[in-house]
Chain A
Amino acid sequence: MAEAIKNRYEFVVLFDVENGNPNGDPDAGNLPRIDPESGYGLVTDVCLKRKIRNYVETVKEDAQGYKIYIKEDVPLNRSDSSAYEFLGTDEKGIKDLKKKDPQVDSKIRDFMCRNFFDIRTFGAVMTTFVKAALNCGQVRGPVQLGFARSIDPIISQEVTITRVAITTEKDAENKKTEMGRKNIVPYALYRVEGYISANLARKVTGFSEEDLELLWEAIINMFEIDHSAARGKMAVRELIVFKHSKELGDCPAYRLFDAIEVERKEDVIYPRKYSDYTVSVHEEQIPDSVEVSRKM
């Protein structure tokens, strides 16, 4: 297993949607999520994590060490799951040790972290053999994401559509078409902020430099393999990474986030494309020891 990362990171992702629904709200009949008071659009952290998992699952095709624990679909090769690398012969007898071995929980944890990219990255909650041991089964991954919020308030538009194929025989006798509806956002630019703790990577999950590269790749491409009728045109526009010089970091995260300013251009009233916005990085607000890179 490669060595764990040694630096704290923060990152900002800007992504946009054109004529699509980035994240439906189950409370509001699948309308795009919206903060009801301010009108800003929201995309949940778990929605974006799903895309990252899907990307990694697609490109790595269940390669050793890059399995995904929380899958969206039942995989086709369901029966072919015996290809795990066993922990080693000396630990074969682990089952008998179960009762005597106090380390069994951490062995399970390490096994899961080694094999599953999503557990190494985002963490997982596991059951354990030790009763009422609250924290043993909880793996906190180093990568932490907040909710994404749109730069400007969004409007969601209802588009009524028709179809000529009728589902039931009975309906087919009475009508020729059926109506359906889609809810879309004409255009919105969203911003999400994330954090990566080197300490949790080193002490708990072993999230490595290669994993980090894969994470950046997954974020950049997370919408490229997620096209569907509902999503419209979605794309990641900017991935700005702050690399601290130390494990603990060099400065508060909010100061770095404040240095990224996204603004609607003055003459634009209704933003409809990415070029209606300007993104500026105020380098002077960022300490010299923090390395800023725009990954796209």
Chain B
Amino acid sequence: MSRGVKVRVWGDMALFSRPEMKVERCSYDVITPSAARGVLEAIYWHPGMIWRIDRIHVRKPIQFTSVRRNEVKSKVQASSVLNVMNGGNKDLYICSKDDIVQRAAVLLKDVEYVIEAHFDMSGQANDSDNPGKFKDIIMRRLRRGECYHTPYLGCREFPANFELFEEDPVVTAYEGQEKDLGYMLYDFDYSNPEDIQPMFFRAVMRSGVLDVRDCEVVR
């Protein structure tokens, strides 16, 4: 019983922010393993399973564009909410005229990937759960286009289309070429919820494929 799956995802725009440039956001050249995991989790996830990304196939040439938007800089202050909940006389809103900042974002345009992934069991599954059941649910959702929420390519304003991908081999936009993309975010290490750490890896795209199986992860 195979726990692997290939999913084609595509969209008009995408933004996989580089952590070193997150104020004026700038996208990585390709989807990160953590964003790919996010896409799969939007389709199906259960505490009893963990998604593992194996390979990312880049099906369209990498192109950038930019958009500058008015954004607010503050977050909702938990302390002021608590104050109001307790009957305090505080103002509870953000004024977008006072709190505005213009930020540019460098986005990817017209992207298409095939994400090859599998899942492992996490040990938190119920007695009635097993890999076969998870696999069936995943396949059904992919075939019918069902999802928990609409997956997105890095940010929620860039929705992703998805479908099960069954062709073999996967044709990419960079056949026969090698491209070094430098260090990229691999994912976050959530093992200690008090101290979540980012992990990076050296991304080299060979023939349009980013292979992240057994890659060396740097913290």
Task: Write out the residue numbers on chain B whose beta carbons fall within 8 Å of the beta carbon of A107.
Answer: 85
| Interface range for A | 35 or more
Binds A, one of B53-61, B126-134, B139-147: B139-147
The answer on a CB contact under 8 Å between B76 and A126 is: yes
Known contacts A36-B65, A147-B13, A147-B157; decide if A69 and B92 are in contact (CB<8 Å): yes
CB contact list, B1-44 vs A, under 8 A: 12-13
A-B contact pairs, 18 of them (CB 8 A): A26-B102, A46-B70, A69-B76, A70-B94, A73-B97, A74-B98, A81-B84, A111-B81, A137-B75, A147-B12, A147-B13, A195-B150, A246-B146, A248-B148, A249-B144, A249-B147, A252-B161, A252-B162
A200 on the B face (CB < 8 A):
yes
Known contacts A137-B78, A193-B159; decide if A68 and B148 are in contact (CB<8 Å): no
Chain A 98-132 interface mask (CB, 8 Å, partner B; 1/0): 10000011011001100100010000111111011
Closest to B68 in A: A27
B91 on the A face (CB < 8 A):
yes
B87 on the A face (CB < 8 A):
yes
Task: Write out the residue numbers on chain B whose beta carbons fall within 8 Å of the beta carbon of A36.
Answer: 65
Task: Write out the residue numbers on chain A whose beta carbons fall within 8 Å of the beta carbon of B66.
Answer: 27
What's the Cα separation between A104 and B152 when bound, in Å? 29
The answer on a CB contact under 8 Å between A71 and B95 is: yes
Residue from B97, B141, B149, B194 within 8 A of A197 (CB atoms): B149
The answer on a CB contact under 8 Å between B93 and A140 is: no
Task: Write out the residue numbers on chain A whose beta carbons fall within 8 Å of the beta carbon of B90.
Answer: 81
Known contacts A95-B86, A147-B13; decide if A44 and B69 are in contact (CB<8 Å): yes
Binds B, one of A84-92, A169-177, A178-186, A269-277: A84-92
A250 on the B face (CB < 8 A):
yes
17 new A-B contacts, CB < 8 A, other than A133-B193, A254-B161, are: A44-B67, A46-B157, A67-B92, A78-B91, A84-B85, A84-B92, A95-B86, A125-B76, A127-B79, A140-B156, A145-B157, A146-B12, A146-B157, A147-B13, A195-B149, A195-B159, A248-B146
Task: Write out the residue numbers on chain B whose beta carbons fall within 8 Å of the beta carbon of A131.
Answer: 194
Residue from B75, B77, B84, B93 within 8 A of A84 (CB atoms): B84
* Interface residue total, chain B, C-beta cutoff 8 A: 54
CB contact list, A22-40 vs B, under 8 A: 25-27, 33, 35-37
A279 on the B face (CB < 8 A):
no
The answer on a CB contact under 8 Å between A112 and B95 is: no
The answer on a CB contact under 8 Å between A144 and B148 is: no
What's the Cα separation between A78 and B193 when bound, in Å? 39
A157 on the B face (CB < 8 A):
no
B188 on the A face (CB < 8 A):
yes
Task: Write out the residue numbers on chain A whose beta carbons fall within 8 Å of the beta carbon of B156.
Answer: 140, 144
Closest to B155 in A: A45
Task: Write out the residue numbers on chain B whose beta carbons fall within 8 Å of the beta carbon of A50.
Answer: 96
Q: For residue A25, give the distance in angstroms from its CB to the closest CB of chain B.
A: 7
Q: For residue B95, give the distance in angstroms from its CB to the closest CB of chain A.
A: 5
The answer on a CB contact under 8 Å between A199 and B148 is: yes
Q: For residue A252, give the distance in angstroms from its CB to the closest CB of chain B.
A: 3
CB contact list, A124-160 vs B, under 8 A: 124-129, 131-134, 137, 140, 142, 144-147, 149
B72 on the A face (CB < 8 A):
yes
A63 on the B face (CB < 8 A):
no
